Amino acid sequence: MYKNLIKNVVIVGGTHGNEFTGVYLAKYWLKNPNMVQRRGFNTNIIFANQKAFKEVRRYIDRDLNRSCSLSILSKNADSHEAKLAHHLNTLIGPKDNHQENADFVVDLHTTTSNMGISLVISNQNELTWLAASYLSEEFPDLKIYRWQGDEEGAFVDSLGADGFAIEVGAIPQGVLRSDIYKQTEEIVYKLLDFLENPSDTNRTVNVYDHVTLVDFPRDNDGEIIAMIHPQRQDNDFKLIQSGDPMFLSFEGQIIVYEGSESLYGLFINEAAYYEKGFAMCLARKIEYSF
């Protein structure tokens, strides 16, 4: 089906400088390229935000994974990450012109949330979903989240024709863990094996479909006045029903979920999302057919 049509695959590590798993996998593969090469296509490794890594920061000026929209790419680069986005677009894109240099992009991430192994997908193309379906068969615990979040079409993987982000956690920022490193490495190898010999897998997959972003409770000055409730903490991909505890105030008051629809929480208490103004994502679990 797609065999012989896939010519260039790109693996990106270090989109966020304080997510060390992707950084050190990229460094390893740059020294050992035979590990990611497959017959029929070339695999390129990109260590994206080296300056942020050196400073153990998510980014220098703005989130690189929110800097790859067409609106930003159409303007002169005015920040470190905007310059990186333009450079990545020359390597991976040009974006949305149907002649992208990269046929498939996989962007490696970690999260402080208890997400386990998950894929974050915003691409609607068939190959992306075939690869996701294959990986969900190979890794029964893998979760698929279809993102429609704070900024649309701005992810690094959106620069290529197909692709997604791999999220593995929970792990602190600026930390390496051998188990999460090996999990990420294994899923990338399985993905490359699939792209080498793409097959028509199950065309219906369980997907956590984004519904909304939920901020922390705040006072009139914008200060956080409640924390994630213990029953929510570390319970990503668990169903939240009306009346379930969501937050716990500093005074001990329980703040409950008041939504009419039962939804699943994920990216719960992600450290990087405090600055973005949300405490968790809520998603609807569906059977997605493609």
Q: What is the 3-state secondary structure (H, E, C) of the chain?
A: CCCCCCCEEEEEECCCCCCHHHHHHHHHHHHCHHHCCECCEEEEEEECCHHHHHCCCCCCCCCHHHCCCHHHHCCCCCCHHHHHHHHHHHHHCCCCCCCCCCCEEEEEEECCCCCEEEEEECCCCHHHHHHHHHHHHHCCCCEEEECCCCCCCCCHHHHCCCEEEEEEECCCCCCCCHHHHHHHHHHHHHHHHHHHCCCCCCCEEEEEEEEEEECCCECCCCCECEEECCCCCCCCCEEECCCCEEEEECCCCEEECCCCCCEEEECCCCHHHCCCCCCEEEEEEEEEEC
Residues 6 or more apart whose CB falls under 8 angstroms from that of 76 comprise: none
**For position 148, what pLDDT does the model report?**
80
Phi, psi values for residue 121, rounded to 5°: -120, 130
What's domain 211-283's architecture?
A: Single Sheet (2.20)
CATH fold group of domain 8-202: Aminopeptidase (3.40.630)
**For position 2, what pLDDT does the model report?**
84
**For position 263, what pLDDT does the model report?**
98
State the virtual CA torsion across 123, 128, 133, 134 in degrees, nearest 10.
Answer: -150
Residues facing residue 43 across a β-bridge = 9
Phi, psi values for residue 285, rounded to 5°: -85, 125
What residues of the chain score a pLDDT lower than 50? Answer: none
Fold equal for 8-202 and 211-283: no
What's the sign of the alpha-carbon dihedral 82, 87, 92, 93? positive
The model's pLDDT over 73-129, given as tens digits with 9 standing for 90+, comes to 999 999 999 999 999 999 999 998 889 999 999 999 999 999 999 999 999 899 999
Closest CA to 280 of 108, 62, 112, 57: 112
Whether residue 129 contacts residue 194, with contact meaning beta carbons closer than 8 Å, is answered with no
For the chain, what are the domain ranges?
8-202, 211-283
Cα distance between residue 258 and residue 26, in whole Å: 43
Q: What token pair was written down for 222?
A: 């914008």
Cα distance between residue 187 and residue 22, in whole Å: 12
